[in-house]
Structure 1
Amino acid sequence: MLRELFTLWRNRGARLARCLGQDREAVSINARHRRCAAAWEPHLAATRTLILDAAQAAVGRETAVVLGSGACLDVPVAELAGLFRQVVLLDAHHPRPAGVLAARFPNVRLVTADATGMVQAARTAAKSRSPLPCPVPRPDPLAGLAPDFTASVNLASQLPIPFYRLLGRRATGTEAEAFCRGLVTAHFDWLASLPGTACLCCDTAWERVDGPKVLERLDALEGVALPAPDRTWIWSIAPRPEESLAYDRQNHVAGFLDFAAAWGAKGLD
């Protein structure tokens, strides 16, 4: 706990990260990774492989963008830097390890941005009880950048989480639920609309398990249905005794090499 507090003190996020609690979350993620590194490695390796396979299929070699880069545990930064003229790592908060890693490559830069574009709207709605945007508009976190390759990495299921906290008492209403579901849908619509190749890696379900017995299963995407993925795997995110002696926690993960094609085909079903 003291180590985590010291890490947070050394690497407090900008206003956006503090508002979303992303700087604290980054510290917690890195601490859990230290404790569960062996259990996490198959997931991290599968994610890196998915990103590289998708990136190598991209036609252009000018710009690659990674959304949800975090500490870059699951991002093959060196390989992407060798494939593209510039690599943009986008997140609401960049932990110190990401900054140290990016500094090794002159063509890698960090961009701090709200991937949803909805933080201010949610804060205003929470304070004034004004309506939440419906439908949620597509975000534009790249500010006009036209990437040859984009990867959304373990991000989609995380987008609504801080908004439930931001919305406070309104977080339990159907309007808030529709808004948070809209955040996920808007992210998918935006990702599929980008030029170049778009890759998606995201949780689809969260489970508590005791051996083969599923004790609890939660949808990770607010009810948004995905098409059939190219790859799936299990992320052993909290093996015993990380959270409990009574169960292990695991995430179901889906990977798409060409998300635009898959998302578009879903609309034709």
Structure 2
Amino acid sequence: MLAELRVHAASRRDTPPRFRPYLAEAVRYWSTRLRQSRAWAPHLANARGLIDTGIDDFPVRRTVVVLGAGPLFELPLESLARTFARVVLVDRAHLSAIRPRLARYGNIERQWRDLSPATSVDPLAFLAGIADLDWVISANLLGSMALAAPAGQHRQVIEDHLAALAALPCPATLITDLDYRVFNRHGVVLDSADLMHGRFMPRSGLRWKWEAAPFGADQRHTRRVHSVAAWPDWREADFG
């Protein structure tokens, strides 16, 4: 708890006032990752590996933008910073805990933005103003945006974000959790949720499981497992 309070206080100092209400949620997510490092390791390795491998597809490496950069858990930040001339990290909250990683490089910048279509007509319009944009990465952002959307807008938030990625003039990598299931110690499913809210997602993407909450994290005798999918370039996703 003391570590969380320190990170929150240090982050608040350089967070624009309108984004400070989002710090508490961001700190909770950061703290959960520290407690569940072993359970989360395979998921994070898959996400980082996908992005790391994707770097090789770019003969020209000028600017990469990461949507939902958060505490950088899913990002091979060092690889991106070494290979791209400019790395732009976009999120509603940028915690002080990431500062040591950012300080090693002079080509990384943070932008505070609310990327939800529920709060803006075109939340990705700012990308058109970023010079030499070669790559956009949506990093485990979609499900959380839908979850936070006003009642009745969950599906539309998903549709709008996916449509915006598909319309980009550069490759758009998408990593997202699709659903989750809660199991008891006998393997019986006690609860489940479709995080895409009925939106069909193509089978062409990479798939893996993420044990987001092992036994004892949410409740003593349950574990929550998310299904994750990723597409190196959402614009080329095969819906067949």
TM-score by length of 1: 0.81
Q: Is the 8 A contact 1:55 1:197 kept in 2?
A: no
Equivalent residue number for residue 228 of structure 2: 253
Shift of the alpha carbon at 1:105? 0.8
Query: SS state of the match for residue 224, structure 1?
Result: coil
Q: Distance in 2 between matches of 1:59 and 1:199?
A: 16
Q: Distance in 2 between matches of 1:254 and 1:229?
A: 9
Query: Greater share of helix residues, 1 or 2?
Result: 1
Q: Is the 8 A contact 1:60 1:196 kept in 2?
A: no
Deviations 1:77-106 (A, max 9, x none): 110112211111111111112233222111
Question: Is it true that 1:144 corresponds to 2:129 in the alignment?
Answer: yes
Equivalent residue number for residue 156 of structure 1: 142
Q: Distance in 2 between matches of 1:161 and 1:23?
A: 17
Equivalent residue number for residue 175 of structure 2: 201
Q: Distance in 2 between matches of 1:61 and 1:254?
A: 25
Spell out structure 1 runs of 4+ moving beyond 4 A.
Answer: none
Q: How many residues align?
A: 236
Query: SS state of the match for residue 11, structure 1?
Result: helix
Equivalent residue number for residue 181 of structure 1: 155
**Matched AA of 1:252:** S
Deviations 1:3-49 (A, max 9, x none): 3233322322433433xx43111111111111110111111110001
Equivalent residue number for residue 58 of structure 2: 58
Q: Distance in 2 between matches of 1:117 and 1:184?
A: 9
Equivalent residue number for residue 17 of structure 2: 15
Q: Distance in 2 between matches of 1:199 and 1:110?
A: 19
Q: Mapping of 1:49-128 within 5 angstroms? A: 49-116=49-116, 118-119=118-119
Shift of the alpha carbon at 1:137? 5.0
| Long gaps (5+) in structure 1 | 122-135, 165-170, 172-176
Query: SS state of the match for residue 60, structure 1?
Result: coil
TM-score by length of 2: 0.90
Deviations 1:102-154 (A, max 9, x none): 221111111111212543x6xxxxxxxxxxxxxx6563242522521111010
Shift of the alpha carbon at 1:65? 1.0
Equivalent residue number for residue 202 of structure 2: 227
Q: Distance in 1 between matches of 2:182 and 2:195?
A: 13
Q: Distance in 1 between matches of 2:201 and 2:18?
A: 29
Alpha carbons of structure 1 residues 138 and 114: separation in structure 2 relative to 1, 3 Å: closer
Identical counterparts, % of pairs: 30
Q: Is the 8 A contact 1:233 1:254 kept in 2?
A: yes
